[in-house]
Amino acid sequence: MHERNSVRQRAEPCSAGERPFEGVGMTAGSNRDRELAAIIRRLSEGSPVSESEISAAANTAETAEALIALSQRTAGLRQRSAELRAVMSSTRDLLSTTDAELLLQRIVDRAHELIELDIAYLSVYDASNEELYVRAATGTTSPRFLTMVVPAGIGLASLAVRTRHPQWVEDYDELTTVPHDPVIDGIVQEEQLRSLVGVPLVVGDEVLGVLFGASRQPHSFRADEISLLATFAGHAALVLHTARLLQEATTATQEAARGQRAAEWAASLHGDLTALVVHGHGTATVIATLSDALGRPVGLLDVEGKVVAGTMSETSPGRRMREVIERTVAGGTSLRLPQGAVELVAPVLAATGHLGAIVVERGAAPLTSVEQRAVERSAVIAALVHMRHDALDQAEERVRGELAADLFDPERRASGVDRAEARGYPVDEPWALCVVLLPREHCAQALAAVRGRRDFLAAHTPVGVAVLAPLEHSGDTCEHIVGVMNRPEAGAAYVIAANLQEAAAGIEDAIQTAKLAQGLALGSRRFPVATFAPYALLFGGEGGKLRDFVTETLRPVSQWDHAHGTQLVETLAALFDERWSLTAASRRLHIHLNTLKQRVQRLRALLGEADDSPEARFRLELAVRVEVARRALE
């Protein structure tokens, strides 16, 4: 058209009244139309158009204003569309991604892209100490930024947490309404930050963190920017809340699995310990099984702190351990020790009394509550095992006590020997009979001690305890038996016999002899029954009468020996042994014959004519022989 007009203008000359440049004006108007069309096309495509470009292309001011308004509205719609796409993308991430760290970083990145920010970051809130820790960030340059910790009550972050509402400031340096921290201020200066906005991450009544945006230039944050940041903050709060719930669920599942394993372990151990009880095992096996299950040293200690069963690294009892055992026994409950080699002490209590405690040493990790209960149940089982064995031992002791009583009774002795043989005792082998002299109050304990030896047969006697023991097992006979009783000061009379029946038959002589020994003040000596058996019949076992008889008969001689240091009693014994042959007696005494004659004259002077009559000489010889026997045992 432009070309046709140009041709027409060239072909026809201008008539009067026509304007010669009318075609030029039409061309300028067409160019302006094309510019307006190009601006509208750019606006529709979303390309940025400045207000100056719109004003230059518009025919009128009204057109320019309308196009500028359209441009702004179009830009706002496109920004809103971008924000919605970002929010939808973030929502899709919430549904498809389970990595909390990745989700938080993407939320921070989107906030940084959509809002006019130089830096965006997210800090999580620790309610236990009211501090905030940077979890994700983008746009930072300072190496200290990612390690930044905001103390309680400091800065814009703490204000957002406290108010649970968005907080912002156009110039951080001019923020005076909250306390500052020099470390935080230093990091802000390193990043050259001026304007900051923080939106709290709130779930219910709980604050989980703060999402921040920051600019290095002064910036007045618009409501739509804060609203968009709040949307992303809601997504971040959902991520943190979901991650925490997932962690709690995972932890609960793990705890349940650990609890199930612990319950199965405890059930298995309880089954093993029950089987031990059923099959008659002792406390040593119970302690060994418990030690294997716990994987650490375990021991059963008595009330004195001595190891009864098990293996301990520290076997010597200490005063502190004894006190701990006494305290747990008195309280009836187990006790954990805060330090030292021992971690747990569980008392072993029974109806008949306390037996001590199960002591568990420390391991690589502390005992769990399930393991502690297992130890306490093991203490109960150990008490049951001990009571069971006590009951069996008591029954066995009662049977053996009845058997010993039968053997010591002449009328039931033969049947007693048969019962002993039926129970496996070597009735035809040599046996020892030992009557131990004990006060009445010590007899029960001594009897319990010897009955603990299954090869011993023991019973009460008027003077103490009588014990029958196979000679091959009794060591030094009476010495060994007294040692088993743990009564080293006790005296005893003993007899060795060819078999069980003969040993049991010597009980009366042994008791009479023991009584004589007590009367002669020999209660702490151990001697064969034959030493005093001949005199027991004469005095009926009355040792006091025998002592008085010896004392009165030999008083002049004993007093002379004591006063002059002579040996007249020994001289009398040699004379009786040699039938008063002076020559033989002098040889026995290794003295000269004249010396012996002088001693005999002294004896006649002291005793008078008492040595001449047969009856007087018998009484004198009896007293001398008893005194010699007594002195030999001293």
Side-chain-side CA neighbours of residue 514 (13 Å)? 27
- Residue 157 predicted with pLDDT over 50: yes
| pLDDT (0 to 100) of residue 539 | 56
- Domain with 337 in it: what CATH number? 3.30.450.40
- Which residue type sits at 480? H
Q: Where do the DSSP E strands lie in 288-373? A: 298-301, 307-310, 335-336, 342-350, 353-361
| pLDDT (0 to 100) of residue 9 | 39
445 and 365 both lie in a single domain: no
The length of the chain, given as a count of residues: 634
CA-to-CA separations, 497 to 404, 405, 471, 494, 591, in angstroms, rounded = 16, 18, 9, 10, 40
pLDDT in tens, 84-96: 555 555 555 555 5
Q: Is residue 252 part of a domain?
A: no
Contact at 8 Å (CB) between 89 and 202?
no
Q: Is residue 189 part of a domain?
A: yes
Token reading at 77: 């719609």
Of the candidates 361, 351, 352, 341, which has an alpha carbon nearest to the alpha carbon of residue 300? 361
As for how many domains the chain has, the answer is 5
Q: Is residue 155 part of a domain?
A: yes
pLDDT in tens, 482-514: 777 777 777 777 788 888 888 888 787 777 777
Q: Is residue 159 part of a domain?
A: yes
| Stronger pLDDT, 40 or 185, i.e. the higher one | 185
Of 511, 538, 565, the position where a domain reaches its end is: 538
Of the candidates 518, 495, 523, which has an alpha carbon nearest to the alpha carbon of residue 508? 495
Token reading at 612: 């001449």
Contact at 8 Å (CB) between 148 and 122?
no
Q: Of all helices (H) and strands (E), which one includes residue 365?
A: none
| Stronger pLDDT, 331 or 507, i.e. the higher one | 507
Reduced to 3 states (helix: H, G, I; strand: E, B; else coil), residue 503 is helix
Q: Where do the DSSP E strands lie in 462-591? A: 464-470, 492-497, 526-528
The mean pLDDT value for 442-453 works out to 79
Contact at 8 Å (CB) between 178 and 188?
no
195 and 337 both lie in a single domain: no
Alpha-carbon span 46 to 40, nearest angstrom: 10
Question: For the packed helices 413-422 and 369-408, what is the interaxial angle rounded to 10 degrees?
Answer: 140
Alpha-carbon span 562 to 555, nearest angstrom: 10
Radius of gyration of the chain (CA): 57
Confidence of residue 356 (pLDDT cuts 50, 70, 90): confident
The mean pLDDT value for 551-557 works out to 74
The mean pLDDT value for 389-399 works out to 71
Confidence of residue 122 (pLDDT cuts 50, 70, 90): very high
pLDDT in tens, 278-322: 777 777 888 888 888 888 888 887 777 777 787 777 655 567 777
555 and 603 both lie in a single domain: yes
| pLDDT (0 to 100) of residue 518 | 63
The mean pLDDT value for 398-413 works out to 83
441 and 330 both lie in a single domain: no
pLDDT in tens, 516-541: 666 565 556 676 776 666 665 555 55
| Stronger pLDDT, 479 or 117, i.e. the higher one | 117
- Residue 591 predicted with pLDDT over 60: yes
Contact at 8 Å (CB) between 569 and 618?
no
515 and 549 both lie in a single domain: no
| pLDDT (0 to 100) of residue 630 | 64
Alpha-carbon span 5 to 30, nearest angstrom: 13
116 and 238 both lie in a single domain: yes
547 and 534 both lie in a single domain: no
Supply the DSSP symbol for 564: H
């009484």: which residue's tokens?
A: 619
- Domain with 415 in it: what CATH number? 3.30.70
Sheet with strand 307-310: strands edge to edge: 307-310, 298-301, 353-361, 342-350, 335-336
- For residues 393-411, one letter each, b for 16 or more C-beta atoms within 10 angstroms of the residue's C-beta and e for the rest, the string is eeeebeebbebbbbbbeee
The mean pLDDT value for 374-379 works out to 82
Alpha-carbon span 448 to 444, nearest angstrom: 6
Supply the DSSP symbol for 409: S
Confidence of residue 13 (pLDDT cuts 50, 70, 90): very low
Beta carbons within 8 Å of 538's beta carbon, 6+ residues apart: 546, 622
434 and 522 both lie in a single domain: yes
Alpha-carbon span 462 to 477, nearest angstrom: 21
Q: Is residue 202 part of a domain?
A: yes
Beta carbons within 8 Å of 534's beta carbon, 6+ residues apart: none
For residue 365, which phi and psi values (nearest 5 degrees)?
-135, 155
470 and 569 both lie in a single domain: no
Q: Is residue 259 part of a domain?
A: no
Of 486, 510, 538, the position where a domain reaches its end is: 538
- Residue 200 predicted with pLDDT over 90: yes
521 and 554 both lie in a single domain: no
Q: Is residue 323 part of a domain?
A: yes
Confidence of residue 12 (pLDDT cuts 50, 70, 90): very low
171 and 208 both lie in a single domain: yes
Alpha-carbon span 189 to 512, nearest angstrom: 111
Side-chain-side CA neighbours of residue 48 (13 Å)? 2
34 and 135 both lie in a single domain: no
Side-chain-side CA neighbours of residue 181 (13 Å)? 16
Q: Is residue 135 part of a domain?
A: yes
Beta carbons within 8 Å of 244's beta carbon, 6+ residues apart: 208
- Residue 170 predicted with pLDDT over 50: yes
Alpha-carbon span 185 to 108, nearest angstrom: 22
| Stronger pLDDT, 481 or 54, i.e. the higher one | 481
Beta strands 431-437 and 492-497 are antiparallel
Beta carbons within 8 Å of 292's beta carbon, 6+ residues apart: none
Q: Of all helices (H) and strands (E), which one includes residue 597?
A: helix 593-607
Confidence of residue 548 (pLDDT cuts 50, 70, 90): low
| pLDDT (0 to 100) of residue 556 | 80
State the chain's mean pLDDT as an integer: 76
| pLDDT (0 to 100) of residue 121 | 92
Token reading at 472: 């091959």
| pLDDT (0 to 100) of residue 212 | 92
Of 538, 560, 584, the position where a domain reaches its end is: 538
Token reading at 517: 């020994």
Q: What residue numbers bound the domain in which 475 lies?
A: 409-538
| pLDDT (0 to 100) of residue 27 | 53
The mean pLDDT value for 261-284 works out to 79
| pLDDT (0 to 100) of residue 21 | 37
